[in-house]
Amino acid sequence: MKGKTIYFRLLAAFALVLADENKGLAFQAPERPNVILIITDDQGYGDLGIHGNPHVQTPVLDKLGRESLRLTNFYVSPVCAPTRSSLMTGRYSLRTGVRDTYNGGAIMATEEVTLAEMLQSTGYRTGIFGKWHLGDNYPSRPGDQGFEESLIHLSGGMGQPGDFTTYFQGDRSYFDPVLWYNGEQKAFQGYCSDIFTTEALTFIEKKAAEPFFLYLSFNAPHTPLQVPDKYYERYKDLDPSAGFDEDGRPFPEMSERDKEAARKVYAMVSNIDDNVGRVLNKLEELDIAENTVVIFMTDNGPQQARYVGGMRGRKGSVFRGGVRVPFFLRLPDRLEGNRDISTSLAHIDVLPTLADLCGASLPTDRKIDGKSFVPLLQGRDAVGFDERSLFFYWTRRYPELYTNVALQKGKYKLVGNTDFDAEVGEFDLFDLKEDPYELNSIVEANKPVARALKSEMDAMIADLTQSPHLNQAQRVIIGSEQENPVYLNRNDAGGERGIWTQEEVFGMWKVKTLEGRYNIRFKFIKPLETKGKMVLETNSVIIQEQIEAVPTDEITLENVYLPEMEVDLIPHYVTEGRSIFPLWMELEKISDP
């Protein structure tokens, strides 16, 4: 049992029993709307027609935007896993243990109370389809964090080395994939975004008589940029750098590679647009559109250089091009649509807002960084938003003082891209009201303002970097009934910085093993051509075996005894002066000791 609260588990079970007995009558009152949260991956603010892009064809999303409450100053983290952890918890990502997109830093602490768990405890059915990216093993998978139905890929993206069921498909990794349905591998036919949507529609049909929470989390248009030909044909002759009247706003210089990437991204976005249309049509068909919250957003700015509404920066940057994204919210039966809300809001605000709309209770045993913006949605004044600060950072592994870090408060934004001991004059200060494109630093003329913001930034960094979940390793549990066998993938491997597809790299996995005997299998990126020794370091015991049968890309050690322990598992194949790290390792418990 998780340490987060037995109360939530018992309340969820009780609510679901009531829902089954009453076929939703107990919870289908108007104050309990369905919730559909749609998020896309690496789609920037400028990748929508409604935001001034004349090239991308997004008629469904543009119409949804016109019908919705549009949060025109909505912010996220510069990269995906931190955004997703904040979205799920209402907390800054460092509090949740999420500090990176890989390197073992994208595993959210199991003690976190997620949006799915919060709504499930109030009687909602819950499902995720698409990208999770907050832990691929027990106890951090979607099914361990409140989703009763899940269909996901592994790691940060399909075709990445962490998603080993699609990695070897190369330039076809988005087509006919092996995905993970409720924790088990399952083969599908078709294009990934179409598959996730089709399965989400089935979920909606099954749960339409009860309140449900659907998290439709597209991995597109993230790289690798793969899309069905019929969508690419729309854009193959396009010059995505032409046709913009920027009226003094900066426009990124686009190489030929950037232009080709933009064509593929726009094609992938058009496919998403069609799939969002399928979801909206299903709500109409089932006559539940009026009582369904539909949210559309993206997780960060674009990865490649292209139109981003004139803003500075893109994915990975704390400038607005990296962190300002679309956010549309529609709830026809109680919120007047087609309105802009210009208040600065963020991913941390989504969970408390949905708690407010759905009549759910926020956790009271932890700090929730976000605030409900329901008063803004209802056209009322919201106290406290203009006075609060929003914190942004992005560097690999852990925050670096003061690299790519920002604090925004009211109209001012302080940005650090300097040394750990820099004076305040080495930071940049922007007046976003006068300079929304962050082109002219005013720090020299406004040092008192900058000092006050830096003091607040320092306090925020000190607070977040001392978070227990950040400083205590999030360990995968090996040998449990909940997951056996366990596959440890490269996305969750720690060790050297930037472990990806290297062969000779130091890597390890932080795990907790349960006592027993195991078969342990190692998979390598390329076949091992020379004889050597397979080594697995486990605390004070090193397990090793001489390997004579080569070439091979798999090695299995059978009937290995492992005690109960918290350990860094360090596997490597030693041959002719080389030490080769596996792509993944599988541990299957075959018996108790």
Domains of the chain: 6-377 (3.40.720.10), 389-471 (3.30.1120.10), 476-591 (2.60.120.260)
Q: What is the pLDDT of residue 4?
A: 54
- Identify the band that residue 249 occupies on the pLDDT scale cut at 50, 70 and 90: confident
Evaluate the CA torsion angle 103, 109, 113, 116 in order and state its sign. Answer: positive
Q: What is the pLDDT of residue 431?
A: 98
> 3-class SS at 142?
helix
pLDDT tens digits along 552-578? 999 999 999 999 999 999 999 999 999
Q: What percent of the chain has pLDDT over 70?
A: 94
pTM across the whole model: 0.94
- Name the CA dihedral angle for 85, 497, 104, 350, rounded to a multiple of 10 degrees: 0
Any idea what DSSP says for residue 410?
T
Amino acid at 113: V
User: Is the confidence at residue 20, as pLDDT, over 50?
Assistant: no
Residue 133 is a catalytic residue: yes
Residue 80 is a catalytic residue: yes
Structure-token pair, residue 304: 């490649």
Q: What is the pLDDT of residue 248?
A: 65
- Identify the band that residue 264 occupies on the pLDDT scale cut at 50, 70 and 90: very high
User: Is the confidence at residue 476, as pLDDT, over 50?
Assistant: yes
Least confident of 168-182, 241-255, 351-365: 241-255
> 3-class SS at 377?
helix
- Identify the band that residue 23 occupies on the pLDDT scale cut at 50, 70 and 90: very low
Q: What is the pLDDT of residue 8?
A: 53
Helical spans, DSSP H, in 229-347: 229-232, 256-285, 320-323
User: Is the confidence at residue 26, as pLDDT, over 70?
Assistant: no
Q: What is the pLDDT of residue 25?
A: 34
User: Is the confidence at residue 367, as pLDDT, over 80?
Assistant: yes
Side-chain-side CA neighbours of residue 51 (13 Å): 23
Q: What is the mean pLDDT of residues 239-257?
A: 86
Q: What is the mean pLDDT of residues 511-539?
A: 97
Choosing from 51, 55, 80, 358, which is the catalytic residue?
80
- Identify the band that residue 5 occupies on the pLDDT scale cut at 50, 70 and 90: very low
Choosing from 133, 153, 222, 347, which is the catalytic residue?
133
User: Is the confidence at residue 398, as pLDDT, over 80?
Assistant: yes
Amino acid at 563: P
How far apart are alpha carbons 508 and 341 in whole angstroms? 46
Q: What is the mean pLDDT of residues 365-391?
A: 93
Q: What is the mean pLDDT of residues 51-56?
A: 96
User: Is the confidence at residue 486, as pLDDT, over 90?
Assistant: yes
> Looking at per-residue confidence, does 350 or 387 come out higher?
350
Q: What is the mean pLDDT of residues 376-385?
A: 89
How far apart are alpha carbons 141 and 135 in whole angstroms? 6
User: Is the confidence at residue 582, as pLDDT, over 60?
Assistant: yes
